[in-house]
Amino acid sequence: MSLSSTAHYSHMPTPVSAPILAGKHHPTTSTSSFLLSVKSSQDSPQNPSTYSTSLRRPTTQKPIRTSLSQRSQVPKNPLKNLVNSQNTPTPNTPPSDTLSNRLWLSSKLAPPPPPPPPPLPQLLKETVESGDGNGISENSENSGTEEDEKGVEFREKGKIFVGNLPLWIKKNELAEFFRQFGPIKNVILIKGHDDIERNIGFGFVIYSGPTAEKSAMKAVEFDGVEFHGRVLTVKLDDGRRMKAKTEGRARWVEGKEGNVDDYRSKWHEEREGSRKEFQKVLETHPENWQAVVRTFERIKKPSRKEFGLMVNYYARRGDMHRARETFEKMRARGIEPNLHVFTNLIHAYAVGRDMEEALSCVRKMEEEGIEMSLVTYSILVGGFARIGNIEAAELWFKEAKEKLTTLNAIIYGNIIYANCQGCNMDRAEALVREMEEEGIDAPIDMYHTMMDGYTMIGNEEKCLIVYNRLKECGYTPSVITYGCLINLYTKVGKVNKALEVCDMMKMSGIKHNIKTYSMLINGFIQLKDFANAFSIFEDVIRDGLKPDVVLYNNIVRAFCSMGNVDRAIRTVEEMRKERHRPTSRTFLPIIHAFAKAGETRKALHIFNMMRSSGCIPTVHTFNALILGLVEKRQMEKAVEILDEMLLAGISPNEHTYTTIMHGYASLGDTGKAFEYFSKVKSDGLELDVYTYEALLKACCKSGRMQSALAVTKEMNAQNIPRNTFVYNILIDGWARRGDVWEAADLMQQMRQERVKPDIHTYTSFINACCKAGDMLRAMKTIQEMEALGVKPNVKTYTTLIHGWARASLPEKALKCFEEMKLAGLKPDKAVYHCLMTSLLARATVAEDYIYTGILRICAEMAEYGLVVDMGTAVHWSKCLRKIERTGGGITEALQKTFPPDWNSHKTLNAISDICDNDDALDENDGNDPFYNSDTDDEAYTNFDESL
């Protein structure tokens, strides 16, 4: 039964069948009493005494009360007290005052009221007009009393009317004047229709607190006081304005207003038209923000609804500043925000990741007595989830559970998303179980969230379990579902599996979007498969999709990884032509590539280009520039960039200082490394395992192993576990000193702590064995590696060849060289250098396998085009002088690997001087640059550089 139909019961007799048609069941006694009442009123229209007696009879009211008490499921009538106090039949009650005039909502809770009586007879009407009869006079007195009671009901306690105000007066000035009587809750200035920036000369002041009424009475005493040149009119609010609004609303609900357009002004018509146009643009063209703002500004006097819609629009766009500006404009107009407007503003700050301001809005809501809803709690949980603050998200979720009776899937989805982003999948699974126990069905987005969480931790098995569960629950996999699978396989390095998912998408009739293509391209870039990455990009263009900023950033990164920086710069120019604004991530790989190549001027040029294009440099941009300079060991320029970073007002983070520490560690400058380590501590930055790795690297590089042990003790004190990289640095440090026992002890500690060694660990330990001359332990380590499935690489074989050369066993070195080629590994320049030096040192023994090995290696080096430097050529020529003083086959073959200017006049003179001085040759045999420990460390055992 609608509200409009309910209102008409007070004006016309209701048919008996009305409650039955409405689907309501009433007791028989009520219906029979209702029929008797109608019949008695129709049978005796000319008998006023009989009529008035029937009205005074209380039995006519009993059926209504009986029906209310018998229907226990219906909520209690909120107007019951009003019925009992003002509508109890008395001898002085006028016949025309029925229940239907006031209880227009009672038809939803009880049967319709009795119909109104017939018109009064002419004789009784004349009596009423003449004022004869006690009953009539008493009625008039009661009616006056009721009107006074209604007026009191509409009046708000502590509210005063202030008139004759200056038109330019502001709220704060009026509040300051009347605050002397008590605390003020609100000040309302009535604005004009034509000029909404100026008031029309009157307003209201509302006091707050338990003494509000007393404060209002004191303020009324200021009636007639001069205020800014005007004599004020101050009096208590009589409720006239609120009464007019209530009566007008009641007339509109009852349908008595008639044609509203008859008395509307042109201003009202224009305002209504602009409001409708604003809502239309907001629904049809939300992407055109200029049109939305333009239509909103055309509304001459926006209401709370329009302001709320505009705040919500800015919130969805993430424009928290304009959302706040609109919110403050609304309050300046005298419109107090409600729960909906506050929630939209909190949403704007949550999207903008400014949760401090969002919490300030929550505190303002509490001050104004507005309770938070489930939507508000969901927005807060989701906002903290976006910034990765899981603890705060859990606290607000706990508060929502305590204060609200029921939760929905949205707030559960936000808290599950927070835990998935924090890789806390155990808690996420517990929340899913809790949600299912509450009887809340998980939407498909929650399955996607769980799949993304398992992707982040690399748990392929559970991700596929969620995917299969999604299909079992009747959901059809969408492009987002397949995108989660593609993201999983690209991150774990199984691009072939990702391509199989693409085939599944094609069979299901689902087309790729920009995000799925970006995932595929990113996967191929991680595998250094740039050809397939660019072929995927061609598929994007072929499908008619427009690349977005993320896709362009991946292409720029691919070109920089290939070393084609110029093509990357042209890609940035293409982005601008397509009206895509490059971000700081766009310029990061370009800056890093130039800095790594030692082209600091070009890197700074790109840095300035980024600034001119409107991108504000971030700490990550400076870190990329510093990292490139550190990799080229240009530490002075790296420190200059760090100083410029501080001047720009950007605080370095722990990664910045760790990069600088790694640079000084590579140079073996322990003092500088410890200096920047102290800065990390003093700035209150987080000390992680990477910071300690840089410090350990500096200590081990400079041979200060006792300092390295002190650093490891501090790591234990900070509860930072040692990982594989830390052990690699320590083992390599002891290997540099040839201390195989300390290195073996570290290997044993790795097994006890269940830290899995990698190829670098084994290679460093083999290097320690080779330097100690313990080749038997080195060969056992090779067998242990192969048993665990770790295959030796080029550096491992290079270390073994070097070890056999130190042991003066060139035949073992040749055998190891052949095993390396059988394993499918291509020897590099260091391997040939090591092996050739070993063979030349033992060539004086004049064994056939040595001559054959030298000739074969020389032929391979000439075939691969390998040319040694001048120092190596000079050293080898000294060895050749001992073997073939007048030249021969070995000399001719070996000279093919010498530099082109070997036969210059200056070089020949230098060689003749060396050859004439046999004593000098003997002395220099002990200073072989290959066997020099520093050269050896730089060339072969500096495996920690890969860290």
Residue listed under structure tokens 């409107």: 614
pLDDT of residue 311: 92
pLDDT of residue 144: 45
- Using one digit for the tens of pLDDT, what is the confidence trace for 215-255? 999 888 888 888 888 888 999 888 777 777 777 777 666 65
Identify the burial level of 621 via C-beta atoms within 10 angstroms of its C-beta, where 0-12 means exposed, 13-18 middle and 19 or more buried: buried
Region for residue 703 given its phi and psi (left: phi exceeds 0; alpha: psi -120 to 50; beta: otherwise): left
pLDDT of residue 790: 87
Q: Judge whether 661 and 652 are in contact, CB under 8 Å.
A: no
pLDDT-based confidence at residue 83 (cuts at 50, 70, 90): very low
pLDDT-based confidence at residue 116 (cuts at 50, 70, 90): low
Residues in the chain: 947
| Helix (H) or strand (E) segment spanning residue 420 | helix 409-421
- Please report, for residues 322, 368, 572, the alpha-carbon distance to residue 292 in angstroms, rounded to integers and kept in the order given: 13, 30, 32
**In sequence order, which residues have a C-beta less than 8 Å from that of residue 427 and are 6 or more positions away?**
419
**In sequence order, which residues have a C-beta less than 8 Å from that of residue 153 and are 6 or more positions away?**
239
Which pair of structure tokens corresponds to residue 815?
């055998």
Separation between Cα atoms, residue 792 and residue 781, nearest integer Å = 11
**Average pLDDT, stretch 511-534?**
89
Share of the chain above pLDDT 90, in %: 14
48-62, 276-290, 453-467: the lowest-pLDDT one = 48-62
63-72, 138-147, 481-490, 843-852: the lowest-pLDDT one = 63-72
DSSP 339-396: HHHHHHHHHHHHHTT-HHHHHHHHHHHHHTTPPP-HHHHHHHHHHHHHTT-HHHHHHH
- Using one digit for the tens of pLDDT, what is the confidence trace for 457-466? 888 888 999 9
Separation between Cα atoms, residue 760 and residue 940, nearest integer Å = 12
Partners of 191 in beta bridges: 199
**In sequence order, which residues have a C-beta less than 8 Å from that of residue 176 and are 6 or more positions away?**
none
Whether the predicted pLDDT of 710 surpasses 80: yes
What is the reported pTM?
Answer: 0.55
Q: Report which of residues 674 and 842 the model is more confident about.
A: 674
Which pair of structure tokens corresponds to residue 692?
């300690």
Q: Report which of residues 26 and 695 the model is more confident about.
A: 695
Whether the predicted pLDDT of 94 surpasses 80: no
Whether the predicted pLDDT of 596 surpasses 70: yes
**In sequence order, which residues have a C-beta less than 8 Å from that of residue 714 and are 6 or more positions away?**
692
CATH assignment of 156-237, given 3.40.640.10, 3.30.70.330, 3.90.1200.10, 1.10.3720.10? 3.30.70.330
Whether the predicted pLDDT of 200 surpasses 90: no
- Using one digit for the tens of pLDDT, what is the confidence trace for 122-131? 444 444 444 4
pLDDT of residue 153: 65
CA end-to-end span of the chain: 76
- Using one digit for the tens of pLDDT, what is the confidence trace for 610-649? 888 778 888 888 888 888 888 888 888 888 888 888 888 8
Q: Chain-wide mean pLDDT for the chain? A: 76
| Helix (H) or strand (E) segment spanning residue 706 | helix 705-717
pLDDT of residue 157: 83
546-652 CATH fold? 1.25.40
Whether the predicted pLDDT of 414 surpasses 90: yes
Identity (one letter) of the amino acid at 11?
Answer: H
Q: Judge whether 310 and 326 are in contact, CB under 8 Å.
A: yes
Separation between Cα atoms, residue 232 and residue 56, nearest integer Å = 52
| Helix then strand then coil, % of the chain, to nearest 5 | 70, 5, 30
Q: Report which of residues 533 and 198 the model is more confident about.
A: 533
Which pair of structure tokens corresponds to residue 732?
């390599």
Question: CB neighbours (10 Å) of residue 940?
Answer: 21
pLDDT of residue 258: 53
